[in-house]
Amino acid sequence: MSENRQEINRNLAQMLKGGVIMDVTTPEQAKIAEAAGAAAVMALERIPADIRAAGGVSRMSDPAMIKGIQDAVSIPVMAKCRIGHIAEARVLEAIGIDYIDESEVLSPADDLYHIDKNKFRAPFVCGARDLGEALRRIGEGAAMIRTKGEPGTGDVVQAVRHLRKMQSEIRRIAALREDEIFEAAKQLAAPLDLVKYVHDNGKLPVVNFAAGGVATPADAALMMELGAEGVFVGSGIFKSGDPAKRAAAIVRATADWQDAKLVAELSANLGAAMVGINATEIQLIMEERGK
Amino acid sequence: MRVAVPAVQGAFAEQIAYFKAAGADAFEVRNLRDWENARADALVLPGGESTVQRKLIRSTGLFEPLEEAIARGMPVFATCAGAILLARKIEGEEPFFGALDIEIRRNGYGRQNESFSTSCTVWGIDDFPATFIRAPTISAIGKDVEVVARCNGMPTGVKCARIIALAWHPELSRDLRLGRKFLEMAAG
């Protein structure tokens, strides 16, 4: 992939900033998400909460189902492939997907190697729990980063932890003396040129969204407060009582997250939130997938 | 020159940085209160997802004052989604501000696979770096509208009165000429 292509792919994520990317499983849900103000949709067969409940191996979605969603909306459509599954990624690229999520929500296909995303024309977004992981994924060609969170739980604790950790590591790297960067790159197990970029610019070279457990307008506002540039909402919308209303409220809260009075209004009378499950009560820890 | 950038969604931070570098006092406008305190001399409509921006510009209450400012002749610089919001006609959708007599087609080039960067001819100068991200195409142009930018023969930027609208993103480059040109026009 040319440097130019990488830049163009990073640019698309810049256009999504301040927006909400919503998981959808049908063209109807995609239309509800678009009408509510989603900046993009993630097409998948089952939302993470159902993947978690169903157990078993979880794979890339049926391309016909993804195409149905591409035809239903005018906003960008993303889809997930398994970690390390080069062939699934190629299939998604072949059907013209706008962003590929190499995702820990699906069962990993490779327990050692991620996809060499530099070899693709399509952009990739990848999950990360800390700065080292984010920079490793960017080194492999990811054009956008999101926190991993713990998908399908409705519990934001991991997303908060990952976001805080990443931001505090970025601040630490930015404060280093120049001759300390080499040791920092070693400790982070991250490419030196990317650690230098973080040192010089005080931020990641790509856009960073929050993901995992966001279920309410206040959750979205919390993510923005902690430095996310936008949010993914997975199970939180279509596992709730009134998806259209909740989706629109989360969109508005993400855009104007500093206005607490507004977030209060947006949080009122939204109906039942997804019930969720505390991240400490679960058996399968998806965030551990891929390092 | 005070340049207001509605900051509801998209690449508004990039536009603020671009216009600051070009010498303006550029700032975010997130809500009605910000707008009322702004005393803006010019308006910049950033890139992003137009479907999201139109929804949020309405729900924040910014639609009416912005529409009025544009109608009064406030200078406007719009890129990509911003150009869509200004167009008199949007294929398959209701217009939004409808203040610029062009017809536009969203995602006219296709999906991200068809996004590209090239160089554009602007006011006869042919080396402007231009990035097109799921960009719109301009399918018809009104009689009072001047085509100021072309890429590969296609019109990609227009000017009408004090409005400049582009299908691409000068703010993603370090080339400040267009921003400066707009500020000169706005000051004049």
pLDDT exceeding 90 applies to what percent of chain A? 80
Provide CB contacts within 8 A for A53, sequence distance 6+.
none
Q: Are A256 and B172 in contact (CB < 8 Å)?
A: no
The reply to whether A265 touches chain B by the CB within 8 Å rule is no
Identity at A11, one-letter amino acid code: N
Cβ A230 vs Cβ A16: under 8 Å: yes
| Residue A149 region by backbone torsions, left for phi larger than 0, else alpha for psi between -120 and 50, else beta | left
pLDDT at A234 (0 to 100): 86
CA B141 to centroid of chain Cα atoms: 16
* Closest CA relative to residue B92, chosen from B136, B39, B34, B124: B136
Tens of pLDDT along A123-132? Answer: 999 999 999 9
pLDDT digits (tens, 9 = 90+) for B103-132: 999 999 999 999 999 999 999 888 999 999
Catalytic residue IDs of A: 80
**Tokens coding A189:** 């197990």
B contacts of A70 (beta carbons < 8 Å)? 111
Four-point Cα dihedral B4, B5, B8, B9, nearest 10: 180
User: What are B140's two structure tokens?
Assistant: 């018809």
Residue type at position A249: A
pLDDT digits (tens, 9 = 90+) for A110-149: 999 999 999 999 999 999 999 999 999 999 999 999 998 7
Residue positions counted in chain B: 188
What would the two tokens of residue A39 be? 């900046």
Q: What residues of B are in contact with residue A4 (Cβ under 8 Å)?
A: 117
Q: Determine the Cα–Cα distance for residues A257 and A49; give it in Å rounded to an integer.
A: 26
pLDDT for residue B142: 97
Euclidean distance between CA atoms B16 and B101, whole angstroms? 26
From A33, which residue of chain B is nearest by alpha-carbon distance? B52
pLDDT of residue A152: 76
Q: Is a pLDDT exceeding 90 seen at residue A250? A: yes
What pLDDT score does A48 carry?
81
Give B-chain residues touching A96 at CB under 8 angstroms: 110-111, 113
Q: What is the DSSP string of A174-205?
A: HTS-GGGHHHHHHHHT--HHHHHHHHHHSS-S
- CA distances for A245 relative to A29, A72, A242, B138, angstroms: 13, 20, 6, 34
Per residue in B52-107, pLDDT (tens digit) is 999 999 999 999 999 999 999 999 999 999 999 999 999 999 999 999 999 999 99
- Please confirm, yes or no, whether B171 is among the known catalytic residues: yes
Q: Three-state DSSP class for A106?
A: coil
Q: Residues A199, B129, B20, B39: is their CA dihedral positive or negative?
A: negative
Pairing of strands A99-103, A124-128: parallel
3-state SS, residue A262:
helix
pLDDT score for A240: 85
Interface A-B: count of C-beta contacts within 8 A: 104
Q: Is A201 on the interface with B (CB under 8 A)?
A: no
Identify the residue among A5, A15, A250 best suited for mutation to test binding to B, counting B beta carbons within 10 A and taking the highest: A15
Contact B107 A74 (CB under 8 A): yes
Q: Which of A1, A9, A14 to mutate to test the interface with B (most CBs of B within 10 A)?
A: A14
Contact B63, B70 (CB under 8 A): no
A256 → chain B, closest CA residue: B30
Which residue type, as a one-letter code, is found at position B31? N
Is the distance from CB of A221 to CB of A263 less than 8 angstroms?
yes
Both tokens assigned to A64: 């016909």
Are B86 and B45 contacting, i.e. CB atoms less than 8 angstroms apart?
yes
Q: Report strand pairing: A99-103 vs A77-82.
A: parallel
Q: pLDDT tens digits for A259-276?
A: 999 999 999 999 877 767
- Residue A1: predicted pLDDT: 53
pLDDT at A116: 98
Task: Decide if A99 touches B, using CB distance below 8 A.
Answer: yes
A259 reaches B (C-beta below 8 A): yes
> Domain locations in chain B?
2-187
Buried b vs exposed e over A5-24: b needs ≥16 C-beta within 10 Å? bbebbbbbbbbbbbbbbbbb
Tally of CB atoms within 10 A around B20: 14
Asked if the Cβ–Cβ distance from A15 to B49 is below 8 Å, we say yes
A241 pLDDT above the threshold of 90:
no
Residues 6 or more apart whose Cβ sits within 8 Å of residue A288? none
**Out of A19, A93, A121, closest to residue B52 by CB:** A19
| Residues A26/A29/A30/A35 CA torsion (nearest 10 deg) | 160
> Cβ–Cβ contacts within 10 Å for residue A283, how many?
6
CATH code for the domain defined by B2-187 = 3.40.50.880
**Cα–Cα distance measured from residue A162 to residue A166, given in angstroms and rounded to the nearest whole number:** 6
Contacts of residue B14 in chain A, CB cutoff 8 Å?
A: 14
**Tell me, what's the ipTM?**
0.95
Is A14 in contact with B14 (Cβ distance < 8 A)?
Answer: yes
Distance in angstroms (rounded) separating the CA atoms of residues B54 and B50: 6
